[in-house]
Amino acid sequence: MRKARLYALTLAAILVVSGAPVYGAAEETLDESTQEQDAEENVTEGESELEDEAASSFEQDGEENSVNSSAGTVEQSTIEENSGMEEDEQTQEPTVPSTENPEDTDTPAEENKKEYTVKTEVELKDALKEAETVSQKEITIFVEQKITLTENTEIKVPEGKTLTIARNSGYTGVLLEVKGTCSLKGGVVIDGAAANTKNAKESASVKVLSGGTLTIENAILKSNNNTEGNGGAIENEGTVQMSGGSINRNTAAAGAAIYNKGTLVLAGGAIENNKAAKGAVYVDIAAKETKVSGNVKISGNTKDGKTACNLYLAEGKSFVVAGNLKKDAAKIGVTYDGKVDEEGVTVYTKANDKVQIDAGTIVSDDSTGYIIEDGVMTTVVPTGTPTTTPTTTPAQTDSYDATKEKSKNVIKGLATSYKKGAKATFTVVGAGLDREPKVGDTAYVPVKCSVEKGSSTYKVDDLVVNSEGEYEGTMQMNASEGEYTLIAYYELKEWSDDTTSWDEADAANPSKAEDKEATATKTFKVISTTTTKKATLTPKKSVTSSSAKKSKNAKTADETPILPLAGLCAASVLAGGLVVTRRRKRENE
C-alpha cells in the first residue's frame, strides 16, 4: 500500500512537470490579432526605453541630441498608429520615420533663406561664422541695437551666397560702430532698411570712432534715411578707406554717403544717387585729410533730387589728388563753400600723363579746394571763367611716414580658438602697404612670424604675398592645448626710384632707432578635439502583422525544450501503467 502511494506521488509530480509544454502549446493557438498586438506592444516598449535613454543624456549632448530624440518619438507614434489599422492595411510596408529638422520645414519659397537676429559683437561674429556652413544661400542678419566692433572684424560674403546686414523692424539707431578695425568684402550689403524705418533720426548705418578704421573693398551701403543728422551711410571720425563697391540711395542733412571728420581715402568704387543739402561726401572743418585717386566716382548725387551736389567742402577745406585718376572711370563733382556749379569731370589722359580737372567751383586764384601731391602732373581747365589764371604748380607734400601710424600694424583673420590639428590662415597688415607708393614713402613690411607660449617658441611657415597683395600665413595647430601668442615682425622700408615692390625696397633710416622694427601680436587657444559621444536612437526591428501571419513556426515567450518534456510525459505514462499492473496482480493473488 505504501509502495502504491509512492508511485502515485511520483506520477503526480511527473504530470505537473509535463504540463508546461501543454500550456505553451495552448499559447500557440491564440488568435493572430492578439499575437500582432503583443508583438507591436513589445516594439513600442522597446522604443520607449530608447527614448528614455536619449532623454537622460540630452543635457550632456546639447541640442543636436534633441533632434535624434524627436526622430525616435516619430517612429514610436508611427508604430502605435499601425497597430490600429485594418487587416488589409496591415500588409502595407512600414512607414519610414521622419528625420526632418523642424526648423527646416519652411515653405519652398523660403527654403533658400536664413535669418539671424543679433544684439552684440559676439552674436554677430557667431552668425557670420555659421553662415559659412549653412545650406541656405540668402543670408540676412538683423540688428536690434548698436553693435560696437572692438576687435579686428572681417565681414565677408560666404562663397556662392549673399549676405545682408540690416536694421530690424522698429530699430532706428547705428548698425555698426567701429572702434577697432573692420573690413567689408565680397559684396556684403549694409542696408539701412529705409522701407521699414522711415526715419533713422540722427544715426548713420556705420559710425567710425576716432582710432577706428573701416575698409570697404567690395560692399554696398544703401537705403539709410538720416533726415535730421549728418552722415547717411557713414559718419567718420577715424579712418575710412574705399577701393571698391558702392554707396547709394542714402539721405542726410549733410554727407548722405559719408560725413568726414577724420581721414578719408577714396581710391575706387562709386558714390551715386544720394541726397543731402550738403553733398554726398561732406568734408567737415574738423576733417584731417580727404584723398582721391584711382577710379573713384562721385557723381549723380543731389541736394534736392534735382540740383547736383557731390563732394562738398566746408570753407577752408580741400581734398588731395593723391594719384592719377583713371581715364573714363573717375568722375568727381565738387561744391566749395556752398556754391554749386555743373558737375566736374576728372580724367586721366594717357597721352600727356596729366590729371585734368573740370570744375570751376574748385578753382580760385589761390587754388582753393584741391591739392596736387608731388609727382602728379596737372592741367586745370575751369568750367567757368576764373577771376585770375589758375595755378598749375603742384603743391609740395610730405612723404608718408609709417612710423606715425604703427597702430595699423595688425594681424587679421585669426580666430580666438582652434581645435587641435586644425589649420589656420591669417593676414599680416603693415602701415603704408595700402597706399599707392611714391618716392620717399615708408611702410612696415612683414618679414616673418612666430608663435610663443611661455618660454617656448614655435616656427611658422614663411609669409607669402597673395593675389590681392596681402601677406598671408598659415599654421597647423599640432601643439598641446593652451593659450598661444602669434607675433608678426616688421621691417621699416623706404620706396625709391628703382623700387618695384616693398619686398625689394631698402631699409629706411627712421629718426628713432626703435621705429626701425615693429611687431603685431594676436592671442589664440588650442582646444581639445575630444567630444562627448552623442546618444543615438537605434529602433528595434519592427514586427508587422503580415510577417506574423506568414510565420509557420510562431513562438511564445516560453523557451522550454519540448523533446525532453515529451520524454518525461511518456515515462509518466509507463510508470502509471506499471503501478496499475502490479496493483491488479496483487489483488488477484
Q: Looking at the structure, do residues 195 and 260 belong to the same domain, yes or no?
A: yes
> Per-residue b/e over 102-135, b at no fewer than 16 CB within 10 Å?
eeeeeeeeeeeebebebeebebbbebbeebeeee
pLDDT of residue 29: 42
Q: Are residues 129 and 54 in the same domain?
A: no
Q: 505 in a domain, yes or no?
A: yes
By three-state DSSP, how is residue 75 classified? helix
Ranges of the chain whose pLDDT falls below 70: 1-110, 194-202, 226-227, 322-330, 336-398, 530-567, 569, 579, 587-589
Write phi, then psi, for 357 (nearest 5 degrees): -115, 115
Residue 446 CA from chain centroid, whole number: 28
Given this model, what pLDDT does residue 370 score? Answer: 53
pLDDT of residue 548: 43
* The three grid cell numbers given for residue 52, joined into one nine-digit string: 528614455
| Cβ pair 450, 441 in contact under 8 A | no
What is the domain range of residue 23?
1-30+562-589
Q: Which residue has the cell 525616435?
A: 72
Indicate whether 589 and 508 sit together in one domain: no
Residue 22 lies inside a defined structural domain of this protein: yes
CA distance 312 to 319: 10
Whether residues 121 and 71 fall in one domain: no
The set of cell numbers assigned to 562 is: 519540448
Q: Which of 356, 263, 342 has its CA nearest to residue 310? A: 342
Residue 160 belongs to a domain: yes
Q: Is 514 helix (H, G, I), strand (E, B) or coil?
A: helix
Neighbours of 541 (CB within 10 A): 7
Is the same domain home to 53 and 24?
Answer: no
- Where do the DSSP E strands lie in 110-191? 113-118, 138-143, 147-149, 152-156, 162-167, 176-178, 181-185, 188-191
* pLDDT in the model for residue 369: 52
Q: Is 358 a domain residue?
A: no
Q: Same domain, yes or no, for 131 and 41?
A: no
- Co-location of 206 and 285 in the same domain: yes
Give the chain's domain count: 4
Q: How much is the pTM? A: 0.47
Look at residue 17 in the predicted model and tell me its pLDDT. Answer: 52
pLDDT for 476 equals 87
Residue 203 shares a structural domain with residue 297: yes
140 and 161 housed in the same domain: yes
Q: Is residue 270 part of a domain?
A: yes
- Domain containing residue 422: CATH number: 2.60.40.10
Q: Both 451 and 469 in a single domain?
A: yes
**Is 93 part of a structural domain of the chain?**
no
d(Cα 122, Cα 144) in Å, to the nearest integer? 14
Q: What is the per-residue pLDDT for 390?
A: 36
Residue closest to 106 by CA, chosen among 98, 116, 114, 96: 114
